[in-house]
Amino acid sequence: MTAVEPVPCVVRCADAVVPTDHGAFTAIAYRSATGIEHLAMVFGDPTVGTALTRVHSECLTGDVLGSRRCDCGPQLSAALERIADAGAGVLLYLRGHEGRGIGLAAKIAAYQLQDWLGLDTVDANLRLGLPVDARDYADAAAILRDLRVDRIDLLSNNPAKAAGLAAAGVTVAGTTPLEIAANDHNARYLATKRDRLGHNLTHAHLVTRH
């Protein structure tokens, strides 16, 4: 009997060069089995050695609208810059990860609870009956396999992200911090990520704002 090949959870759709403020990246579009589309931004040849890699969760408010309630937009720009400076690497932009996987509408509802009741990002999700973090990294692992990237140096402050990628089959050789300075609007959010979600944030001035 002939063995049946497993159905890939992502399909490569198209690629093109995208000039950015940090250099020219090759943008490769993928579509997942669930219909969600992701983007890999590839610089240089990431298959040689350990690839500097950012697995970036979609954040419309931060990445597109410049919201200062989070650090997502500055992290996205900083990651592209770091990868270009390294000469090679990958940024995976994962759609469907809005609000740590709860979706855009639920994220805005969680913001509302934070504003009205003074809850932090963890307790706001729980008050809505939603998980603190619902992200899945199977698509990220499949994209890295398609790119022939065997080992990564993960640009992240989040040990849970490294663990999630490892559980999905990615060899995470190490992590490199991607810390952004706090502002008056996200200091409490960043302190919550440090104190309740285990992020490796070391800014001495980062304190919970009441």
Examine residue 185 and state whether it is found in any structural domain, yes or no: yes
Residue of 69, 75, 88 whose CA lies nearest to 23: 88
Q: What is the pLDDT of residue 202?
A: 84
Q: What is the pLDDT of residue 28?
A: 98
Examine residue 64 and state whether it is found in any structural domain, yes or no: yes
Could you give the CA distance from residue 61 to residue 76 in angstroms, rounded to a whole number? 13
Residues 6+ apart with CB under 8 A from 78: 178, 180
Could you give the CA distance from residue 190 to residue 188 in angstroms, rounded to a whole number? 5
Examine residue 107 and state whether it is found in any structural domain, yes or no: no
The answer to whether the CB of 92 falls within 8 A of the CB of 30 is no
Could you give the CA distance from residue 210 to residue 205 in angstroms, rounded to a whole number? 14
Q: Is 17 exposed, middle or buried (0-12, 13-18, 19+ CB in 10 A)?
A: exposed
Give 70-121 as a 3 state SS string.
CCHHHHHHHHHHHHHHHCCEEEEEECCCHHHHCCHHHHHHHHHHHHHHCCCH
Q: What is the pLDDT of residue 1?
A: 44
Choose the catalytic residue: 63, 133, 139, 188: 133
98 annotated binding-site participant: yes
Domain residues for 179?
43-97+135-197
Could you give the CA distance from residue 166 to residue 70 in angstroms, rounded to a whole number? 25
Residue 31 is a catalytic residue: no
Q: What is the pLDDT of residue 2?
A: 46
Which residues of the chain are modeled with pLDDT < 50? 1-5, 204, 209-210
9 annotated binding-site participant: no
Give 125-163 as a 3 state SS string.
HHHCCCCCCCCCCHHHHHHHHHCCCCEEEEECCCHHHHH
Per the structure, the count of domains in the chain is 1
121 annotated binding-site participant: yes
Farthest-apart Cα atoms in the chain, separation: 66
Residues 6+ apart with CB under 8 A from 85: none
pTM score, two decimals?
0.92
31 annotated binding-site participant: no
The answer to whether the CB of 67 falls within 8 A of the CB of 98 is no
Residue 135 is a catalytic residue: yes
Choose the catalytic residue: 63, 71, 135, 188: 135
Start-to-end C-alpha separation, the chain: 66
100 annotated binding-site participant: yes
Examine residue 90 and state whether it is found in any structural domain, yes or no: yes
Residue of 130, 77, 129 whose CA lies nearest to 99: 130
Examine residue 113 and state whether it is found in any structural domain, yes or no: no
Q: What is the pLDDT of residue 206?
A: 59
Residue of 77, 72, 76 whose CA lies nearest to 104: 72
CATH code for the domain of 149: 3.40.50.10990
